[in-house]
Amino acid sequence: MSQEEWWRTATVYQIYPKSFCDSNNKGTGDIQGIISKLDYLKMLGVDAIWLTPVYQSPMIDNGYDIADYYSINPDFGTMSDFDNLLEEAKSRGIRLIMDIVVNHTSTQHHWFQSALGNKDSEYRDYYIWKDPVNGKEPTNWQSKFGGNAWEMDELTGQYYLHLFAKEQADLNWENPKVRQEVKDIISFWAEKGVDGFRLDVINLISKQQDFLDDEKGDGRCFYTDGPRVHEYLQEISQDVFQKYGSVTVGEMSSTTLEHCQQYSSSDGMELSMVFNFHHLKADYPNGQKWTKAPFDFIQLKSIFNHWQTGLNGKGWGALFWCNHDQPRVVSRLGNDQEYRELSAKMLASTIHMMQGTPYIYQGEEIGMTNPHYTSIDQYRDLESTNMYDIMVNQDKSVSHDEMIEILDQKSRDNSRTPMQWDDSLYAGFSKGVPWLSVANNYKEINAKQVIEDSNSVFYFYQKLIKLRKDIDVITSGDYTDLFPEHKELFCYQRQNETHRLIAIHNYYDNEVGICLDLTGKEARYILSNYEDVEGSIPQNQMVLRPYECRVVLITK
Ligand code: GLC
């Protein structure tokens, strides 16, 4: 494994700055707040930080609507704060990954402002404009945040495309000038010494150019993993990423394994690794997100099996349960009441023992839960408030009470609540009123408490990060699901030439017996979330207690 591939044994920590730490009590987090917590991250042991967007932005979508790629949003601080962060992180051996959002810009970006209402603008062709068809939108494509994906430009009578909010206009990647701008932006940050880039919805950048109605779906078949996407990524990789040795992770929306094998191929022609979201749709019955539904455990395992076996030797995946768009995993797949700590650890073990690069989302390492809001007024996320309006007020497909339950399960705000640092007012996140309410459980669940408890979720994550560095089979081994049809246990084997690693996870609150082949020169437990297991010699037959996990390492 070459030096450039440090990221194969690394763990990344995702920071959502608005909710991480507020240094000057305005109610929103900032860069100085992040700097003040670097020692905490060092103690956790992470190798890199992925910082979600901190650029100049009207914050319609919390920074995923960028108005200037070359400056820092004053709410977060200044460019000198940013430089300071980079330096302070580096001095602790922590690398920095920036979020690059180039499928679209904010409509406040000067390119769009010049293009709007002016067909002669030199920036008009930076975006995607179409004439009306039969007096209506050019196609029936739907925005990912609800409603049609086209917005009228009254002065010119043309529509522009926005796959997300109408304030997020899609860039026209067919235009080589746009691609040059993207390369200039990325080079600017790479020159500063940033180590890598997370590329927002990067598999949506190439649209099929005939712009047809989608007879079956919402339009995604015309732009997901589109016709020129690999060509574009190769161009940027060659001209920028390879030049700077940047690590790259692409966010892939509704993608396929075959495309991801190519995006993340070890020939390094496109990206280092990919995020895919299929495993986080195990609680979307028939692909429908906006429903309240239990997760399908067998399906969850089968999706992991497909991706773990399919990427092995061909590509590289990011391992994650949580991010700023997903609810908290302990509330989603675990038990956020009686078995909160046990299930948080068990879930962490499930993905940290797989092949890939794990990502920890702020607060996951202390077992933070969904806030269980009870009023629509507590939500800030535009996707959540849009969907409430569409489903409750416009379509009347669900009642207010049903929608509150759906949001409690599915809203992106579930993970965006302020980081719980201690048991003081506003959880030590800020002394001012936070922009989004802190979860009520902050007095019991906070970073101060977990650091004082040697048996906490925090130290379990610390151990997982270290195990990946110490035990090669976690990185290199192949993957076999040992009991794909088992209704309660998620039990898989990782294997290379010298070792077998068996990871066993009970996803339920009852006891389950299991019989395993643990033969080899030596077998030992390397991890468990119950204290009495580690150190003892594993038996072929074992009984897993509620939410128990055990990991056995066998020398062949
Ligand atoms: C990605 C981001 C999400 C954002 C969207 C549009 O999915 O993670 O937060 O809303 O892209 O940029």
pLDDT of 4 reads 54
Tell me the HSE value of 366 on the side-chain side, using a 13 A CA sphere.
Answer: 25
Question: Which three-class secondary structure state does DSSP give residue 385?
Answer: helix
Question: Which three-class secondary structure state does DSSP give residue 76?
Answer: coil
CATH code of the domain occupying 3-102+176-377+415-462? 3.20.20.80
**Straight-line distance from the first to the last Cα atom of the chain, in angstroms, rounded to the nearest whole number:** 23
Query: Which residues partner with 96 through β-bridges?
Result: 49
pLDDT of 220 reads 98
**For the residues 356-384, what does the mean pLDDT come to?**
98
Dist CA 458 CA 448 (whole Å): 10
Question: Which three-class secondary structure state does DSSP give residue 438?
Answer: coil
Distance 42 CA to ligand 1 centre (A): 28
Residue 1 pLDDT more than 50?
no
Q: Which residue has the tokens 């806030």?
A: 371
Pick the atom of ligand 1 nearest to 163's CA. 6
CATH superfamily of 475-555: Golgi alpha-mannosidase II (2.60.40.1180)
Dist CA 428 CA 443 (whole Å): 10
Pick the atom of ligand 1 nearest to 412's CA. 9
Distance 201 CA to ligand 1 centre (A): 7
Question: Where in the chain are the domains?
Answer: 3-102+176-377+415-462, 110-170, 378-410, 475-555
Report residue 455: phi and psi, to 5°: -100, 20
Residue from 61, 97, 103, 386 to probe ligand 1 pocket by mutation (most atoms less than 8 Å from CB): 61
Question: Which three-class secondary structure state does DSSP give residue 22?
Answer: coil
Nearest to 197 by CA among 106, 57, 95: 95
pLDDT tens string 36-95: 999 999 999 999 999 999 999 999 999 999 999 999 999 999 999 999 999 999 999 999
Write down how long the chain is.
Answer: 556
Report residue 407: phi and psi, to 5°: -65, -35
Tell whether ligand 1 has an atom less than 6 A from the beta carbon of residue 64. yes
Residue 534 pLDDT more than 80?
no
Dist CA 297 CA 484 (whole Å): 10
Dist CA 193 CA 199 (whole Å): 17
| Active site amino acids | 200, 251
Dist CA 316 CA 356 (whole Å): 6
List the strands of the sheet with 247-251, edge to edge.
273-275, 247-251, 196-199, 95-100, 48-51, 12-15, 357-361, 318-319
Answer yes or no: same fold for 3-102+176-377+415-462 and 475-555: no
Tell whether ligand 1 has an atom less than 6 A from the beta carbon of residue 270. no
DSSP string, 537-549: PPPSEEEE-TT-E
pLDDT tens string 239-272: 999 999 999 999 999 999 999 999 999 999 999 9
Sign of the CA dihedral with 318 first, then 438, 331, and 342 last: positive
Dist CA 474 CA 111 (whole Å): 46
- This prediction's pTM: 0.98
pLDDT tens string 440-467: 999 999 999 999 999 999 999 999 999 9
Asked if 509 and 490 touch (Cβ cutoff 8 Å), the reply is no
Q: What is the 3-state secondary structure (H, E, C) of 145-187?
A: CCCECEEEECCCCEEEECCCCCCEEEECCCCHHHHHHHHHHHH
Structure letter (DSSP) for residue 237: I
Tell whether ligand 1 has an atom less than 6 A from the beta carbon of residue 382. no
The yes or no reply on domain 110-170 and CATH 3.90.400.10 is: yes
Is residue 538 very low, low, confident or very high in pLDDT (cuts 50, 70, 90)? confident
User: How do the residues of the chain divide into helix, strand and coil, expressed in percent and rounded to 5?
Assistant: 35, 20, 45
